Amino acid sequence: MTATTIAGHQVDINDEGFLTNPDDWSEDLAPELAKLIGIEPLTDDHWKLIRFLRDDYAAQGETPTLRRVSTQTGTPVKALFGLFPGKPAKKMSYVSGLPKPKGCV
């Protein structure tokens, strides 16, 4: 675990850069996290997914998978790849301040 400062917030991160405490996340931190992985600006479509991930994590106790995000939000997987290119599950989790979903490499 390493302490770092992102957008004026001191946070602890793991070796992959994910926040170790989801409670350290805030909505003003999300755009900065997104910039770090080449996603900007965050659109309403991004925010819909980020808020879903945060709410679902709070209710379920684990980060939702790509399939769950797609089915629960009605967002096609192809659109998720468009919003969070490359590895959408990993990138959505990162920007949302959550751990990687189980099974995500």
In this structure, are residues 90 and 14 in contact, taking their beta carbons and an 8 Å threshold? no
| Angstrom distance (rounded) from CA 96 to CA 29 | 9
Residues serving a catalytic function are 104
Listed in sequence order, the residues at least 6 apart from 19 whose beta carbon sits closer than 8 Å to its beta carbon are: 11, 12, 13, 25, 97, 98
Structure tokens at 66: 């790509």
